[in-house]
């Protein structure tokens, strides 16, 4: 019985073990394939295929950065400046002043005779500031017997309201009016000097203090420093002498709006007239002119209150001799002083200062009626700048009277 039970248990164990094996094998078995369901189309139900809308792919436009366009710039050659050159009557015509080269505001002024007016410069407390010098076309500064300086100013194109103080003439005033076919206005002269002046070819056009156009000021000054002139009245006086006519020039200055080539720099000039007068000229590139000072003070025109300037400063050396045929002063019956004869005829040395530069030159005056002209070492004209000119007339015996600084 025991054996039957054991045999039965053994069989049950075998069956259980086999069952477990079958269960474990099912986990590794492939899944059963299920037949696909076929969707049959009907007349009322069209086959609908799924629509796939593809998203447009964003295309990134890659734009190449262009290199900058290089445009060839044509080379522009600078337009060369063309100088205005004046040297003959045709160049000046009827509207340009032959003494300055400038076009005048009133061309009729060129139909009248120039005036050479004697103007004081010493002593400073009585003579300065002078009236009218800024409107002169030309001004000559020269020494007198006492080594003080005096001016002869040539008025032609402009008419200032007042000129002065007017002083006495010297022997050089027999020459300067002849150069410019001018009348001479003066307070007087030494009797023998006066005789020389009146006996010359300018004698009929000399105006003295009693003539129309002269007047005395009420200033508290010594009498000899109170004579002034209204140039309009002086031209009336010349007309009364029947001597007011257009000038007859026999030579012509040369002007150029551009400076000559080369030329050393000359920005500051000092001119020492012995120990009495120190003149300085300072170049101003802003206006192309030289400003004048004397004895450390600006030279002012009392008419305008403004400092005087010049387009040209001309350093002109001439022979100065004592004319011993004229005695100015006697001492114990012996002559102790003679007038200076400034020999501004023939030729001599000069320096032209213009546009901040200096040009050595030779001045020429061949005939009595000729004005100064200037040539270089090759005989070519040295042109002035268009505008007014101041002449510093220097004795030949001065030693190094001029200092020129760059």
Nearest CA to 313 among 141, 121, 150? 141
The answer to whether residues 202 and 174 touch, using CB atoms and an 8 Å cutoff, is yes
CB within 8 Å of 350: residues ≥ 6 apart: 314, 315, 316, 317, 360, 361, 362, 363, 374
Q: Whole-angstrom Cα distance, residue 337 to residue 327? A: 6
Strand pairing of 357-365 and 346-354? antiparallel
Both tokens of 247, joined, read: 């000038």
The answer to whether residues 212 and 234 touch, using CB atoms and an 8 Å cutoff, is yes
The pLDDT value recorded for residue 218 is: 80
The answer to whether residues 285 and 356 touch, using CB atoms and an 8 Å cutoff, is yes
Over its length of 406 residues, how does the chain's per-residue pLDDT go in tens digits? 444 443 544 444 444 444 333 333 444 333 443 333 333 333 334 433 444 344 444 444 445 555 556 566 667 677 778 999 999 999 999 999 999 999 999 999 999 999 999 999 999 999 999 999 999 999 999 999 888 999 999 999 999 999 999 999 999 999 999 999 999 999 999 999 999 999 999 999 999 999 999 999 987 899 999 999 999 999 999 999 999 999 999 999 999 999 999 999 999 999 999 878 999 999 999 999 999 999 999 999 999 999 999 999 999 999 999 999 999 888 888 998 899 999 999 999 999 999 999 999 999 999 999 999 999 999 999 999 999 999 999 999 999 999 999 9
Can you name the residues that pair with 372 across neighbouring β-strands? none
Both tokens of 236, joined, read: 């009336």
Can you name the residues that pair with 118 across neighbouring β-strands? 152
Q: Whole-angstrom Cα distance, residue 224 to residue 166? A: 8
DSSP assigned state of 115: E
Dump the DSSP string for 189-256.
--HHHHHHHHTSTTGGGEE-TTSTTEEE--SSS-GGG-EEE-HHHHHHHHHHTT-------SS---EE
Class of domain 255-405 (CATH, top level)? alpha beta
The answer to whether residues 321 and 340 touch, using CB atoms and an 8 Å cutoff, is yes
Can you name the residues that pair with 153 across neighbouring β-strands? 117, 139
Both tokens of 361, joined, read: 């030159």
Question: What SS3 class is residue 400?
Answer: coil
Both tokens of 199, joined, read: 């006996």
Dump the DSSP string for 297-356.
EE-EETTTTEE-EESEEEEEEEEEEE-TTS--EEETTEEEE--EEEE-SEEEEEEEEETT
The answer to whether residues 93 and 143 touch, using CB atoms and an 8 Å cutoff, is no
pTM of the model: 0.81
Question: What SS3 class is residue 118?
Answer: strand
190: left (phi over 0), alpha (psi -120 to 50) or beta: beta
Tokens 């069989």 label which residue? Answer: 11
Q: Whole-angstrom Cα distance, residue 340 to residue 265? A: 34
Any idea which fold 103-241 has? YerB-like fold (3.50.90)
Q: Whole-angstrom Cα distance, residue 226 to residue 233? A: 17
CB within 8 Å of 228: residues ≥ 6 apart: 131, 162, 163, 164, 165, 166, 214, 215, 216, 217
Tokens 């000072």 label which residue? Answer: 293
The pLDDT value recorded for residue 138 is: 99
- CATH 3.50.90.10 domain extents, the chain: 103-241, 255-405
Cis peptide before 321 (omega within 30 of 0): no
Q: How many Å separate Cα 360 from the centre of its chain?
A: 21
The pLDDT value recorded for residue 47 is: 38
Both tokens of 237, joined, read: 């006086």
The pLDDT value recorded for residue 73 is: 65
DSSP assigned state of 215: E
């Amino acid at each position: 019985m025991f054996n039957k039970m054991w045999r039965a248990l053994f069989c049950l164990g075998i069956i259980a073990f086999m069952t477990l094996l079958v269960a474990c094998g099912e986990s590794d078995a492939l899944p059963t394939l299920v037949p696909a369901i076929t969707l049959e189309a009907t007349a009322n139900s069209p086959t609908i295929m799924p629509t796939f809308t593809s998203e447009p792919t964003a295309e990134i436009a890659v734009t190449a950065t262009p290199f900058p366009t290089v445009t060839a710039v044509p080379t522009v050659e600078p337009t060369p400046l063309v100088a205005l050159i004046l040297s003959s009557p045709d160049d000046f015509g009827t509207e340009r002043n032959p003494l300055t080269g400038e076009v005048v505001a009133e061309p009729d002024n060129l139909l009248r005779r120039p005036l050479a007016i004697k103007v004081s410069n010493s002593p400073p407390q009585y003579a300065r500031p002078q009236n009218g010098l800024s409107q002169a076309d030309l001004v000559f500064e020269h020494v007198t017997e006492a080594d003080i300086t005096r001016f002869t100013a040539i008025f032609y194109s402009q008419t200032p309201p007042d000129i002065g103080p007017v002083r006495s003439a010297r022997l050089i005033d027999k020459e300067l009016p002849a150069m410019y076919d001018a009348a001479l206005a003066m307070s007087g002269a030494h009797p023998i000097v006066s005789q020389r002046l009146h006996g010359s070819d300018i004698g009929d056009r000399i105006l003295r203090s009693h003539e129309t156009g002269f007047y005395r000021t009420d200033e508290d000054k010594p009498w000899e420093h109170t004579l002034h002139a209204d140039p309009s009245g002086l031209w009336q006086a010349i007309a009364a002498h029947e001597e007011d006519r257009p000038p007859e020039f026999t030579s012509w200055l040369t002007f150029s709006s551009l400076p000559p080539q080369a030329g050393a720099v000359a920005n500051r000039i000092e001119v020492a007239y012995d120990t009495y007068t120190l003149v300085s000229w300072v170049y101003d590139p802003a206006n192309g002119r030289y400003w004048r000072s004397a004895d450390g003070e600006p030279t002012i025109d009392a008419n305008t209150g403004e400092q005087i300037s010049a387009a040209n400063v001309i350093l002109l050396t001439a022979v100065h001799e004592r004319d011993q045929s004229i005695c100015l002063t006697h001492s114990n019956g012996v002559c102790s002083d003679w007038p200076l004869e400034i020999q501004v005829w023939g030729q001599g040395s000069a320096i032209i200062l213009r546009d901040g530069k200096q040009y050595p030159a030779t001045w020429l005056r061949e005939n009595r009626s000729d004005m100064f002209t200037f040539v270089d070492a090759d005989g070519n004209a040295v042109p002035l700048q268009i505008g007014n000119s101041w002449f510093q007339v220097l004795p030949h015996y001065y030693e190094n009277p001029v200092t020129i600084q760059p």
